[in-house]
């Protein structure tokens, strides 16, 4: 099992993300806003590339999966039917000394005690009390806590409700994107040519009042999910589920994630409707944790929406005439969580001529900037003009950066830190031989390439 390279890797990633403009804490000038983050220039590009790769694998390359973009705020009846209003909660306790709010199942887990999601408040409190002496508050180190109570994670809003007592019948910001998929199942079926088995994929924001959120973009209160719900004949649910598990594992390998940093985790204690649940875990700087959930959800979702809405959610097979309510298997992963996995995988420190080189070795398809173009000197108009000409041409096809500030070494270091695979320098020789020096991020090897050949060169390297 791969161990993480350094103890303070997380701090290094957080600091690089801020310094280079990947991720900023939200509302910083007002003292911050916990567990919410903003993405800067390179973070936006990285997140866009991650979403594009997911969409390509899940929709573009699949004849059996179509896309959807449903609304964030929907009828609150949806969240009653799904079980979120009554049961989407985590056990919360407060430290009596420093008043930190803490997730009791996480405290127990750190003490080596497993707390099942399905446990009642009473059961979790029994377990909590039995292990009090093993548990310390992560903020102040004391162990004096209030009793645990279940805290609902749904975030309320008054959208469309103008009454002063709006919170008696609130609407909710969606807690997961897939509910928008279930309630549109019939619309999709009636408006496209899909036949069972088929999937609906969606990328979008979700919101959860997470109790503790101390792991940067791993767990945030506002986040983006990439979810695909696959509708199958109940008889084939487990065969299709195994296929989906394999597809999702292969996807991460093709994305460029190191296989030794991935592993399966099988859920032993399933929610009542689930047939099987596995997580793909990634070796984050704080250890192996859930990256993606892959669940066999049976008839639960379409069945309960059908019961609560009174609308039929069944399917008649056009060939066999068999009618049934499809079962659902899902793949669900966060964009921010993928981004943290990709950053962790890419972060590298190397000794170069007595100095530490920090380089993000992103797979080229995920790199925010593909090519940086430099004129050797800023004050030589001929060099600047030639470099600008190359930049103007290449930016039509790739995210490029033009940089003429500081010495070349410093420009390379900056591009290494944002993970740019190729840097090109226009020097005095370029004016004679119509070629540039191309430097490879990972090997630091340099080669001379004709300007007229750059398109072909990059196509071979990047596409
Ligand atoms: N529809 C199923 C579902 O939402 P989940 O295990 O609660 O299942 C699925 O979430 C994925 O969404 C997780 O594996 C994770 O990648 C991401 N995710 C969930 N909560 C998150 C949070 N608070 N912050 C960031 N990502 C989150």
In a domain, 37, yes or no: yes
In a domain, 339, yes or no: yes
| Atom of ligand 1 at shortest range from CA of 210 | 23
Question: pLDDT 10s per residue in the chain (463 long)?
Answer: 333 445 699 999 999 999 999 999 999 999 999 999 999 999 999 999 999 999 999 999 999 999 999 999 999 999 999 999 998 999 999 999 999 999 999 999 888 888 887 788 899 999 999 998 889 998 899 888 999 999 999 999 999 999 999 999 999 999 999 999 999 999 999 999 999 999 999 999 999 999 987 799 999 999 999 999 999 999 999 999 999 999 999 999 999 999 999 999 999 888 878 899 999 999 999 999 999 999 999 999 999 999 999 999 999 999 999 999 999 999 999 999 999 999 999 999 999 999 999 999 999 999 999 999 999 999 999 999 999 999 999 999 999 999 999 999 999 999 999 999 999 999 999 999 999 999 999 999 999 999 999 999 999 999 8
- Check whether residue 235 and residue 329 sit in a common domain: yes
- Check whether residue 219 and residue 295 sit in a common domain: yes
pLDDT for res 212: 83
In a domain, 363, yes or no: no
* 313 Cβ inside 6 Å of ligand 1: no
- Check whether residue 179 and residue 59 sit in a common domain: yes
Closest listed residue to residue 220, CA positions, set 15, 23, 7, 84: 23
* 336 Cβ inside 6 Å of ligand 1: yes
- Check whether residue 298 and residue 202 sit in a common domain: yes
In a domain, 452, yes or no: yes
Distance 290 CA to ligand 1 centre (A): 9
- Check whether residue 188 and residue 65 sit in a common domain: yes
CB atoms within 10 A of CB 31: 7
- Check whether residue 381 and residue 426 sit in a common domain: yes
User: What total of structural domains would you count in the chain?
Assistant: 3
Q: Tabulate helix, strand, coil % of the chain (nearest 5).
A: 40, 25, 35
With tokens 């993300």, the residue in question is: 17
* 178 Cβ inside 6 Å of ligand 1: yes
Residue at which a domain ends, from 116, 151, 186: 151
- Check whether residue 241 and residue 389 sit in a common domain: no
pLDDT for res 7: 65
* 219 Cβ inside 6 Å of ligand 1: yes
For atom 20 of ligand 1, which residue has the closest CA? 219
Per DSSP, the residues of 35-103 read: T-EEE-HHHHHHHHHHHHHHHIIIIIT-TTEEEE---SB--HHHHHHTTHHHH-EEEEEEBTTT--EEE
For atom 7 of ligand 1, which residue has the closest CA? 176
- Check whether residue 239 and residue 271 sit in a common domain: yes
In a domain, 81, yes or no: no
In a domain, 287, yes or no: yes
- What's the domain range around 46? 7-75+175-343
- Check whether residue 228 and residue 139 sit in a common domain: no
Q: CA–CA separation, 127 vs 115, rounded Å? A: 8
Q: CA–CA separation, 338 vs 332, rounded Å? A: 11
pLDDT for res 6: 58
Distance 227 CA to ligand 1 centre (A): 10
For atom 25 of ligand 1, which residue has the closest CA? 219
Pocket test for ligand 1, best of 293, 329, 330 (most atoms within 8 A of CB): 293
Assign residue 56 the CATH number of its domain. Answer: 3.30.930.10
- Check whether residue 234 and residue 139 sit in a common domain: no
- Check whether residue 265 and residue 233 sit in a common domain: yes
For the entire predicted model, the pTM comes to 0.95
In a domain, 350, yes or no: no
For atom 5 of ligand 1, which residue has the closest CA? 293
For atom 2 of ligand 1, which residue has the closest CA? 332
3-state DSSP assignment of residue 425: strand
Residue 461, C-beta contacts closer than 8 angstroms, at least 6 positions apart: 364, 421, 422
Token readout for 167 is 């919170």
Distance 235 CA to ligand 1 centre (A): 28
For atom 26 of ligand 1, which residue has the closest CA? 334
* 331 Cβ inside 6 Å of ligand 1: no
Q: CA–CA separation, 306 vs 221, rounded Å? A: 30
Distance 189 CA to ligand 1 centre (A): 26
* 203 Cβ inside 6 Å of ligand 1: no
Assign residue 448 the CATH number of its domain. Answer: 3.40.50.800
Pocket test for ligand 1, best of 290, 292, 298 (most atoms within 8 A of CB): 290
pLDDT for res 4: 42
In a domain, 168, yes or no: no
Q: What are phi and psi of 250, to 5 degrees?
A: -60, -35
* 117 Cβ inside 6 Å of ligand 1: no
- Check whether residue 205 and residue 304 sit in a common domain: yes
- Parallel/antiparallel/unpaired status of strands 101-103 and 422-426: unpaired
């Amino acid at each position: 099992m791969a161990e993480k390279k350094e103890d303070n890797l997380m701090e290094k990633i957080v600091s690089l993300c801020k310094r280079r403009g990947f991720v900023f804490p939200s509302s910083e000038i007002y003292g911050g806003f916990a567990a919410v983050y903003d993405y800067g220039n390179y973070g936006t590009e990285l997140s866009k590339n991650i979403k594009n790769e997911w969409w390509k694998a899940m929709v573009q390359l699949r004849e059996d999966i179509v896309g959807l973009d449903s609304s964030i705020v929907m009828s609150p009846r949806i969240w009653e039917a799904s079980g979120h209003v009554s049961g989407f909660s985590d056990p919360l306790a407060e430290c009596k000394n420093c008043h930190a709010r803490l997730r009791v199942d996480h405290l127990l887990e750190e003490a080596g005690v497993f707390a099942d999601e399905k446990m009642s408040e009473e059961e979790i409190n029994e377990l909590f009390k039995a292990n009090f002496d093993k548990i310390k508050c992560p903020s102040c180190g004391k162990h004096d806590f209030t009793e645990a109570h279940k805290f609902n994670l749904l975030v309320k809003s008054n959208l469309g409700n103008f009454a002063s007592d709006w919170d008696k019948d609130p609407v909710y910001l969606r807690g997961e994107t897939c509910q928008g998929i279930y309630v549109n199942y019939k619309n999709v079926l009636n408006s496209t040519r899909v036949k069972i088995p088929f999937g609906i994929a969606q990328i979008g924001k979700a919101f959860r009042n997470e109790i503790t959120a101390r792991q940067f973009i791993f767990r945030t209160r506002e986040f983006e999910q990439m979810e695909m719900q696959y509708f199958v004949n109940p008889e084939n649910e487990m065969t299709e589920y195994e296929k989906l598990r394999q597809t999702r594992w292969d996807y991460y390998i093709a994305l460029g994630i190191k296989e030794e940093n991935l592993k399966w985790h099988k859920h032993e204690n399933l929610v009542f409707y689930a047939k099987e649940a596995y997580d793909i875990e990634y070796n984050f700087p704080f250890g192996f944790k859930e990256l993606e959930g892959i669940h066999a959800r049976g008839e639960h979702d379409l069945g309960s929406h059908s019961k609560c809405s009174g609308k039929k959610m069944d399917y008649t097979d056009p060939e066999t005439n068999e009618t049934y309510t499809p079962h659902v298997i899902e793949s669900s992963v966060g964009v921010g969580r993928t981004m943290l996995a990709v950053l962790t995988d890419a972060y590298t420190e190397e000794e170069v001529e007595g100095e530490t080189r920090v380089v993000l070795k992103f797979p080229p398809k995920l790199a925010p900037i593909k090519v940086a173009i430099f004129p050797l000197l800023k004050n030589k108009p001929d060099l600047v003009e030639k470099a600008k000409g190359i930049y103007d041409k290449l930016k039509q096809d790739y995210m490029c950066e033009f940089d003429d500030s500081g010495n070349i070494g410093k420009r390379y270091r900056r591009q290494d830190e944002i993970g740019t695979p190729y840097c090109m320098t226009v020097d005095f020789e370029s004016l004679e031989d119509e070629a540039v020096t191309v430097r490879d991020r990972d090997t630091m090897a340099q080669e001379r390439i004709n300007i007229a050949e750059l398109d072909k060169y990059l196509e071979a390297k990047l596409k």
